[in-house]
Structure 1
């Protein structure tokens, strides 16, 4: 298991402060040391086994499925929207659901409501990532939550990405929405636990017409 690049600076700073605090007070140094260990744990980036099935779309985030519904948006068309909520305990590295090219990146300032709130997808701070795949367009939305105050992006427009490849992270509790192409049917339901890059959330149908099941969290 490795540390996410976004965590190197804060972890190093915490270790430095822990060493300095130890000279003043071993107790204070121990507390700061625990903070450094927490940061190292939070910024973990574990290896993932990406499914080889060419029909499978994988989860972009670790967490709990809180939303599955049909929608229609300009970049994707008639699609299935899957919302995944990440707690502080979940791995926060986000991954690409299917191989393709980054079409656009669009950042929007916003509020910091709890990420599972119904309107968080529309009014919270968020980053839109457009992905072009051979099965159609995918839209990924990283949404900052109550504790999450920074969305980190690792990709650039026109960059080609492999399925399961890390493309960014959101810090300290948040949500990711993924809009699947019209020919991809969701196979997860509300309440399911998923892992970024390894859990299959949708399968390509042989025909383009998909019966998208709408679900809403209670």
Structure 2
């Protein structure tokens, strides 16, 4: 199983502590210390599952927008200005690696500090700590937002100004459950349904009418 490199900063300290406890507990034959080492080791293995990074196969059909995160669709609607808004809630048990929903070029990455409301609520999208990626695509400006949650307190985004990316590429990770919002031009047609389970990099959540962009 492939593991996201962000796991090192979390699993590394746990592994070091387990080794220290074993080096202390084994010579001393201290069952309490050895039990603590075993429990901490199990916790480390459980935590490691949050950083699993399975391979994904992006669709080849032109005009597709794929889910940038694994999870459940909690918003699929049009905004007053005509843009399309889709939001995905990531539980603790979903894959946390995020993928680009479309091909394009990054023109701005905005990091905003904030609160840590439950990611499934409306106030989380605007009030929580977040990272906005704004990109130029052949269909217009597209923005997606990594939002922290009640438990998630760290966001990893590897993209920077000028980066070019393809559909379904890995670009970051939100730690321990959170939310992803994506904002599309008005020409996009939403394919995702409320409460639908989606897979990052594979599930088509919207499409652009490609005949308009020949």
Task: Using structure 2 for the length normalisation, give the TM-score.
Answer: 0.91
Give me the whole-angstrom Cα distance separating, in 1, the residues matched to 2:59 and 2:211: 22
Q: CA RMSD in A?
A: 1.4
Distance in 2 between residues matched to 1:72 and 1:94, nearest whole Å: 27
Partner of 1:149 in structure 2? 153
| Number of aligned residues | 204
Relative to total residues, which structure has the larger helix share, 1 or 2? 2
Does residue 178 (structure 1) correspond to residue 175 (structure 2)? The answer is no
For residues 1-218 of structure 1, what are the structure 2 equivalents within 5 Å? 1-23=1-23, 24=25, 25-72=33-80, 78-206=82-210
Which structure has more strand as a fraction of its residues?
A: 1
Counterparts of 1:79 and 1:161 in 2: how far apart (Å)? 22
Contact 1:136-1:182 within 8 A present in 2 as well: no
Gaps of 5+ in 1: 209-218
User: Cα offset for 1:156?
Assistant: 1.0
Q: 1:26 to 1:52 in 2, by over 3 A?
A: same
Cα offset for 1:132?
1.0
Q: Which runs of 5+ in 2 are unaligned?
A: 26-32
**Contact 1:145 1:174 survives alignment (8 Å):** yes
d(CA) in 2 for partners of 1:183 and 1:117?
27
What is the Cα deviation at residue 207 of structure 1? 6.2
Separation in structure 1 between the aligned mates of residue 162 and residue 79 of structure 2, nearest angstrom: 26
